Amino acid sequence: MNIFEKILTGSRIVGKILYSKAASKRMPIIANLLINNDCNIKCFYCFPQVFKREVKQFTTQELIELIDNFHDRGTEVMVLLGGEPLLRKDIGEIIRYVKSKKMICEVITNGYLVEQKINELKDLDSLCVSIDGDEESNDKNREKGSYLQALKAIRIAKEYGVNVRIHSVLTKYTYDSLGHLMELAKGLGVQVNYSQATIHTEHEALEMSDDELKKFWKKLIEFKKAGYPVGNSFKTLEYVLNWPYSYNDLVYNVNGVKEIHSYDYVSGKNGELPEMALKKSTDNESLKVCNEFKLQPCRRTQMSAYVDAEGSFYPCGVVWDKSGLSAREVGFDGAWNHLKSIECTSCANVSEVELNQLLNFNTTEIFGKAHYLIKNHLRTIFSKGSSV
């Protein structure tokens, strides 16, 4: 995609967000598609629980039909993930198909197969490589050797002129390696987007207190202020820092009344998806105090969709349980329309807040993203062929 096509696509995205908001029209402008469910490594926190579930994998034709369905309903950004998406033999064909529809295409990968498949990845608008911390803590989160594989992948992708970013999951293990990751990203010339692990399984490394999380967001803000390449915007980080509820709370709108529900998951048995367990807060006093906090409405179910490797639709990685309906069973519109029934309206998951800044048409966020894309585009043009 050249710079003019990017500007055109950017304008279309802004136009669609504004239209969807003004006309209350549902449109999956951003789609996250899990194109497979198998993986070559095992990260303990992995939300699709890929290595425990057996699913009937999509055929190439099924994926093409899904991409067509999204495109026909207004999708502009298609994020391909998994499982490990590069394990698919047809990954090049899938990327080419998304690009032929003039959509922005990002692949999220653990990096292991980037060298082998680099020629298939050259047309991507973004390659997102997962690194959670320094070598030791990253490998505790993910798998021994995964840090070095991811690093190698970033270097190779950059050599080939692919636009790269890092996605990093915060757990107790990686809590103290923020400084390392910041220096690493700065040295590599790539941005890091942090996300808080969504909790679908019990694990000591996921047990972070609200105070610990707040301290982390503060530190991240300081790094960003100091000029480190933090992809999360100030607005998002400040929103998350000032969130007055617990980080495991979701705000629901039940018949116009705000309710706070803390959430947990009942683990799925025999590879089934977990079930979301919600507990309503009855603490009216703290609810009153929190009423002064201006909540950002979640636009996920209105403007985006998250599809798992069996074709089931979810709003995001937080609300991810067996309540989703599958397009294989109820058709694309049946699964997409079912998302309307989800009543949660705000959360403080940093990745979700970030996306919602965009979908709520927060101008700082939109111009920040546009600036980043243009800067990277120019950097890519000038560095093509040079080593990193």
Which parts of this chain interact with ligand SAM (CB under 6 A)? 39, 45-48, 81-82, 84, 108-110, 130, 167, 169, 195, 197-198, 317
Residue 9: CB minimum distance to ligand SF4, A: 27
Classify strands 257-266 and 275-280 as parallel, antiparallel or unpaired.
antiparallel
Q: Which does 317 bind (CB under 5 to 8 A by kind): ligand SAM, ligand SF4, none?
A: ligand SAM
Task: Report the amino acid identity of residue 372.
Answer: Y
For 248, the token pair is 């495991």
Q: Which does 194 bind (CB under 5 to 8 A by kind): ligand SAM, ligand SF4, none?
A: none
Cβ closer to ligand SF4: 46 or 327? 46
Residue 343: CB minimum distance to ligand SAM, A: 22
Cβ closer to ligand SAM: 193 or 323? 193
Q: Which does 28 bind (CB under 5 to 8 A by kind): ligand SAM, ligand SF4, none?
A: none
Cβ closer to ligand SF4: 49 or 362? 49
Task: Report the amino acid identity of residue 77.
Answer: V
Q: Which does 42 bind (CB under 5 to 8 A by kind): ligand SF4, ligand SAM, none?
A: ligand SF4
Tally of CB atoms within 10 A around 178? 22
Cβ closer to ligand SAM: 198 or 345? 198
Q: Which does 195 bind (CB under 5 to 8 A by kind): ligand SAM, ligand SF4, none?
A: ligand SAM
Cβ closer to ligand SAM: 121 or 197? 197
Who's near 322: CB < 8 A, 6+ residues apart?
268, 272, 273, 274, 275
Q: Which does 197 bind (CB under 5 to 8 A by kind): ligand SAM, ligand SF4, none?
A: ligand SAM
Cβ closer to ligand SAM: 27 or 78? 78
CA distances from 261 to 113, 226, 242, 266, 278 (A): 41, 36, 18, 15, 6
Q: Which does 274 bind (CB under 5 to 8 A by kind): ligand SF4, ligand SAM, none?
A: none
Q: Which does 198 bind (CB under 5 to 8 A by kind): ligand SAM, ligand SF4, none?
A: ligand SAM
Cβ closer to ligand SAM: 43 or 290? 43
CA–CA distance, 200 with 49 (Å, rounded to integer) = 9
Cβ closer to ligand SF4: 132 or 354? 132
Indicate the burial class of 22 (C-beta count within 10 angstroms; 0-12, 13-18, 19 or more): exposed
Q: Which residue has the tokens 């530190």?
A: 219
Residue 382: CB minimum distance to ligand SAM, A: 28
Q: Which residues of 101-128 are buried (b: 16+ CB within 10 A; e: fewer)?
A: eebbbbbbbbbbbbeebbebbeebbbbb
- The footprint of ligand SF4 (CB under 6 A) covers 39, 41-43, 46, 50, 82-84, 110, 142
Residue 323: CB minimum distance to ligand SAM, A: 18
